[in-house]
Amino acid sequence: MPDIEAMDQQHLSAPDAKPEAASSSDPATTAAQEVTVPEPEPQSSGQLRLRVVGALLLLLRLGPVLILGVLVLVLSNLSPVFATTQNLGNVLSQTAVIAILAIGQLLVILTRGIDLSVGSTLALSAVVGATIFGSGHGGALTVLAMLGTGAAVGAVNGLVLVYGRLPHPFIITLATLSIARGLALGISGGQPIRGMPDIVGSIGGDSATWLAAWLPNSTFLLAGVAVVVTIFLTRVVWGRWIYAVGGNPDGARRLGIPRSAVLISVYVCSGLLAGVAAIVTSGRLNAGSPTFGDLAELDAIAAVVIGGASFLGGRGHVGHALVGAFMIGVIRNGMNLLNIEAYLQLIVIGVVIVIAVESDVLRGRLESRFRVLKSAAS
Amino acid sequence: MNTPANMSTAPALAVRGATKRFGAVLALDEVDLVARHGEVLALLGDNGAGKSTLINCISGVHRLDSGVIEVEGKAVSMSSPSVARAAGIETVYQDLALFDNLDATANLFAGREEAVPAWLPRGMRWMRRGEMSRSSAQRLDRLQITLPDRSSSVGMMSGGQRQAVAVARSAAFASRIVILDEPTAALGLRESRQVLDLILRLRSEGCAVIVISHAMDHVMEIADRAVVMRRGRVVGEEVPRPDNRSRLVSLIVGGEG
């Protein structure tokens, strides 16, 4: 891999260049030195270790994508059905909900938080939508009500977290997990409510026949969400602040970043995306049911962590949420195709979560080791 | 005092009658402090003397119970860190307040990202990332700070480089007043030297620099004035010279000087 080579070269030689560079103000010569500077003899074992640690870090970073790739290859070989377009459409449509929830969860986890309420919020949102539609309102109002319900639950999470001065969002989102599910059951009387507007049905249930009959519309919705959130996180100031709050909450406050508003906003976004996921789910099944999204929060959290975002906050991007969601989707789909029993799927996904969290911890340790080695080399 | 002619007649920073309580503890008791342009003021004192509380109040992290903070002769209500920053007060905290997950440029611009358009609320603006990257390179060059790689995350940098980023963040934006809390505490000899040089460069650019430090050698070398605090009060002020070093130390520890 040429990337490892290039990365290490940069890191390795940089400390050597530093003392000299302090006197030379020309960045061009410094850059040239970085590439050509010969490695001093006595430090070669340290340099080697630095190189190994750097390579391991890169491997950890690419790990989830590699594993997903291997999974897809293996399953394509084991099952003749897996790589068909029809099955691919299935995977896409099953994964869209997890992935949308995971993108919302990513925003929360970036700020060192967790949102346990998204599965219940999805159900409440779907039930509210079905009720509104059932009482004779149109598609636009139904969609707005679904999104609004999600955002409202998210706002409760964020506001109580910040103004209730809670040390951690675990408890408040656990409470809204229970409250939202209870409301959904109460409003619906415990029964699914049949019927959803056409627009919801076409987003969640139909395929993009104009392009390819197997390609579900929800994939486009997911792609849209992914692109918007990516742009928001990488190009908009607020996105930068989300990373800052996750990286150093207290430091963010001392630098004048509106920490409370940032925290509240990520829970509102997560709730809003639960509303979007509700549209997909209830569109696919043409109903709003209080049992929707049962344990979906666990899939969403698992997806973010499996995909390689840091559970400790501040590190991760939309790609991580997507890779993680597809890994879960592919594992489920593949094991179904191979007739592996459901309990084994649960165990496998659990094991994958443990591996993912452990590699996050390992990454942290390797990074500090990298830092120590680098200062020793300078 | 012994400082050269000031850039403006009013001192860069004047604190008068600053008082701050934390419950029953009187952390600051009628503290007066003046910092002038082009001088380095050392703020000395034992642990718990109130130095950190004082600078936290000046930088808007805490609010004074009573007392006035004036910048360039005008009273400013330091209600939040952003007010202090807007008034030209930059602080390098002892814990550096860096974002390990972001690169040097992002750290430099944290909380004051260059973004457009101006009519949108600050948080909703589009970041000018290329502009920030160019500008951070220029500012670091001006301060003669060299980083191996401005695009690698600060968490991967060595202690001295992290300190340099933190100092640069405060120094790079033509601020009037730069406060440094224990800037050399975690550093080796060479790295300390770089930070001290940086402080002297800030002074020559006309900044008012306030340094909290326990390292008396560094205080002797760079400070134009030293103010000593004990139990929330200012107990003495000296021009640090080799011959009054022992008097400064005894002021700090509370013996009879």
Q: Could you tell me if A117 and A297 are in contact, meaning their C-beta atoms sit under 8 angstroms apart?
A: yes
How far from A245 is each of A192, A259, A263, CA to CA, in Å? 40, 6, 8
Q: Where does residue A35 rank: exposed (0-12), middle (13-18), buried (19+ CB within 10 A)?
A: exposed
pLDDT truncated to tens, each residue of chain B (257 aa)?
Answer: 444 444 457 889 999 999 999 988 899 999 999 999 999 999 998 888 889 899 999 999 899 999 999 999 889 998 888 888 888 899 988 888 899 999 999 999 998 898 889 899 989 999 999 999 999 888 888 777 777 777 788 888 877 788 888 888 888 776 789 999 988 877 778 878 888 888 888 888 888 999 998 888 888 888 999 999 988 888 888 888 878 888 888 888 876 54
Rounded Cα distance, A210 and A216, in Å: 11
Q: Which of B93, B127, B158 sits opposite A236 (nearest CB)?
A: B127
Q: Do B155 and A250 touch (CB under 8 A)?
A: no
DSSP A351: H
Domains of chain B plus CATH, in order, are 13-102+176-253 (3.40.50.300)
Which residues on neighbouring strands pair with residue B90, listed in sequence order? Answer: B178
pLDDT at B187: 78
Q: Could you tell me if A254 and A247 are in contact, meaning their C-beta atoms sit under 8 angstroms apart?
A: no
Rounded Cα distance, B182 and B161, in Å: 16
Q: Could you tell me if B252 and B230 are in contact, meaning their C-beta atoms sit under 8 angstroms apart?
A: yes
Q: Do A243 and B102 touch (CB under 8 A)?
A: yes
Domains of chain A plus CATH, in order, are 80-337 (1.10.3470)
pLDDT at B174: 65
Q: Do A254 and B97 touch (CB under 8 A)?
A: yes
Task: Indicate if ipTM > 0.90.
Answer: no
Taking only residues 231 to 250 of chain A, the set having a beta carbon closer than 8 angstroms to any beta carbon of chain B reads: 235-238, 240-241, 243-244, 246-248, 250
Q: How many CB atoms lie within 10 A of CB A99?
A: 33
Contacts of A188 (CB under 8 A, 6+ apart): A127, A130, A131, A288, A289, A290
Rounded Cα distance, A275 and A155, in Å: 13
First to last CA, chain A: 26
Number of residues that this document lists for chain A: 378
Q: Which of B59, B96, B159 sits opposite A375 (nearest CB)?
A: B159
pLDDT at B160: 78
Q: How many CA atoms lie within 13 A of B104 on its CB side?
A: 28
Rounded Cα distance, A259 and A241, in Å: 8
First to last CA, chain B: 21
**Residue A252 at interface with chain B, using a CB cutoff of 8 Å:** yes
Beta strands in B2-88 (DSSP E): 13-22, 25-35, 39-44, 66-71, 74-75
Taking only residues 171 to 190 of chain B, the set having a beta carbon closer than 8 angstroms to any beta carbon of chain A reads: 190
Residues of chain B contacting A378 with CB distance shorter than 8 Å: 158
Listing DSSP states for A289-347 in one string gives -TTTTTTHHHHHHHHHHHHT--TTSS---HHHHHHHHHHHHHHHHHHHHTT--HHHHHH
CB contacts < 8 A, A to B, total 118
Closest CA to B207 of B30, B8, B16, B2: B8
Taking only residues 294 to 353 of chain A, the set having a beta carbon closer than 8 angstroms to any beta carbon of chain B reads: 314-315
Q: Could you tell me if A233 and A242 are in contact, meaning their C-beta atoms sit under 8 angstroms apart?
A: yes
Rounded Cα distance, A39 and B109, in Å: 34
Q: Per-block average pLDDT, block size 10, for chain A (378 residues)?
A: 39 38 38 41 69 84 87 90 90 94 97 96 96 90 96 96 92 95 94 90 81 87 96 95 95 90 97 96 93 92 91 91 94 90 86 85 82 71
Beta strands in chain B (DSSP E): 13-22, 25-35, 39-44, 66-71, 74-75, 89-92, 115-116, 126-127, 177-181, 208-212, 225-230, 233-238
**Residue B93 at interface with chain A, using a CB cutoff of 8 Å:** yes
**Residue A367 at interface with chain B, using a CB cutoff of 8 Å:** yes
pLDDT at B215: 84
Query: Would you give the distance in Å from CA A276 to the centre of its chain?
Result: 15
pLDDT at A19: 38
Q: Could you tell me if B97 and A255 are in contact, meaning their C-beta atoms sit under 8 angstroms apart?
A: yes
Closest CA to B209 of B170, B165, B242: B170
Rounded Cα distance, A115 and A106, in Å: 10
pLDDT at A232: 95
The residue behind tokens 């997890």 is A98
Residues of chain B contacting A15 with CB distance shorter than 8 Å: 148, 158
Q: Do B97 and A17 touch (CB under 8 A)?
A: no
The 8 Å CB, 24+ separation contacts for B166-169 are B166/B92, B166/B93, B166/B96, B166/B97, B166/B98, B166/B107, B167/B92, B167/B143, B167/B195, B167/B198, B167/B199, B168/B108, B168/B139, B168/B140, B168/B143, B168/B198, B169/B90, B169/B92, B169/B107, B169/B108, B169/B110
Q: Do A256 and B137 touch (CB under 8 A)?
A: no
Contacts of A281 (CB under 8 A, 6+ apart): A97, A122, A126, A204, A292, A293
Q: How many CB atoms lie within 10 A of CB B207?
A: 26
Q: Which of A18, A236, A251 sits opposite B146 (nearest CB)?
A: A18
Q: Could you tell me if A314 and B100 are in contact, meaning their C-beta atoms sit under 8 angstroms apart?
A: yes
